[in-house]
């Protein structure tokens, strides 16, 4: 599997509008973060997890020419706002796009993108086929690829991460229970959110994310959903153990 980090930033992105902090003024490309998303290439398939407001830019930058399915972790706009831009793949591939999410998330998409699901559709709107993830305790099938949901909490909102083979992806969380921690064990690569150093109501801090990773012990780990408050990439990464790295936009990882 080849994993491409399309975006590694928090909901405001980095640099943040109007901010003049050292991170937002940094010339290091690793400190420029679009909203969080990843592309997975495996077994001839092409998947994206979360299509935020930067989705079009991310697809162009990563030169993703074909997309087989889209998976959503939860319904917040920094993860869903780019759904309209799957139209390009509809046109190129001449097929509807399979979309996988929990029923609650699919219902939110139907509200926010009502024109996609209208009885009488405007010509050229995105074409999707919705697939509900009904259980969080058993794998579901994405075009022949088994995907295990990983339950976590984003403050009080239940969210999903995903385990595909020995790769685990879990963002926008501040609590992972014992059952999910057991599902993470034995993974080669885990991607986990680490927003900043200070406490936050709905995201892991850097120290909390490291503590989770030290508990579940993957071979390698990458931190994502990073805000400008965490610090400059180079300085923060120098503090980390060698098996934990900060992800950055455009990073490619083989699993």
Per-residue model confidence as pLDDT tens digits over 119-150: 999 999 999 999 999 999 999 999 999 999 99
Question: What number is the average pLDDT over the span 185-189?
Answer: 98
Which 3 state secondary structure label does DSSP give 169?
strand
Q: How confident is the model at residue 111 (pLDDT cuts 50, 70, 90)?
A: very high
- For position 24, what pLDDT does the model report? 98
Question: What number is the average pLDDT over the span 180-188?
Answer: 98
Contacts of 153 (CB under 8 A, 6+ apart): 159, 173, 174, 175, 176
- For position 241, what pLDDT does the model report? 97
- For position 203, what pLDDT does the model report? 98
- For position 149, what pLDDT does the model report? 98
- For position 88, what pLDDT does the model report? 97
Question: What number is the average pLDDT over the span 57-77?
Answer: 98
Question: What number is the average pLDDT over the span 86-108?
Answer: 98
Percent of the chain's residues with pLDDT above 90: 100
- For position 193, what pLDDT does the model report? 98
Question: What mean pLDDT value characterizes the chain?
Answer: 97
- For position 26, what pLDDT does the model report? 98
CB count within 10 Å of CB 64 equals 18
The answer to pTM > 0.95 is yes
Q: Write out the DSSP string of 14-82.
A: BSPTT--STTTT---GGG-BPBSEEEEEETTEEEEE---TTHHHHHHHHT-----EEE-S---HHHHTT
- For position 65, what pLDDT does the model report? 98
Question: What number is the average pLDDT over the span 195-206?
Answer: 98
Question: What number is the average pLDDT over the span 157-169?
Answer: 98
- For position 211, what pLDDT does the model report? 98
Question: In which element (H, E) is residue 91 found?
Answer: helix 87-93
- For position 91, what pLDDT does the model report? 97
Q: How confident is the model at residue 78 (pLDDT cuts 50, 70, 90)?
A: very high
Indicate the DSSP class of residue 96. P
Indicate the DSSP class of residue 136. S
């Amino acid at each position: 599997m080849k994993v491409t980090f399309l975006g590694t930033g928090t909901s405001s992105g980095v640099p943040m509008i109007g901010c003049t902090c050292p991170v937002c003024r940094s010339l290091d490309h690793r400190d420029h973060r679009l909203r969080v998303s990843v592309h997975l290439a495996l077994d001839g398939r092409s998947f994206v997890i979360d299509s935020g407001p930067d989705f079009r830019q991310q697809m162009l930058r990563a030169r993703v020419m074909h997309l087989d399915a889209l998976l959503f972790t939860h319904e917040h706009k920094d993860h869903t706002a780019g759904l309209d831009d799957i139209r390009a793949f509809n046109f190129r591939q001449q097929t509807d796009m399979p979309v996988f999410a929990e029923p609650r998330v699919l219902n939110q998409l139907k509200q926010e993108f009502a024109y996609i699901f209208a009885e009488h559709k405007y010509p050229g709107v995105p074409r999707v086929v919705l697939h509900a993830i009904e259980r969080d305790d058993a794998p579901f099938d994405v075009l022949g690829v088994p995907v295990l949901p990983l339950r976590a909490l984003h403050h009080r909102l239940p969210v999903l991460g995903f385990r595909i083979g020995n790769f685990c992806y879990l963002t926008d969380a501040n609590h992972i229970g014992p059952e999910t921690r057991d599902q993470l064990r034995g993974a080669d690569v885990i991607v986990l959110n680490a927003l900043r150093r200070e406490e936050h109501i709905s995201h892991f801090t850097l120290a909390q994310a490291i503590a989770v990773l030290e508990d579940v012990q993957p071979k390698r780990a990458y931190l994502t959903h990073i805000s400008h408050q965490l610090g400059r990439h180079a300085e923060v990464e120098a503090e980390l153990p060698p098996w934990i790295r900060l992800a950055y936009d455009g990073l490619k990882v083989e699993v």
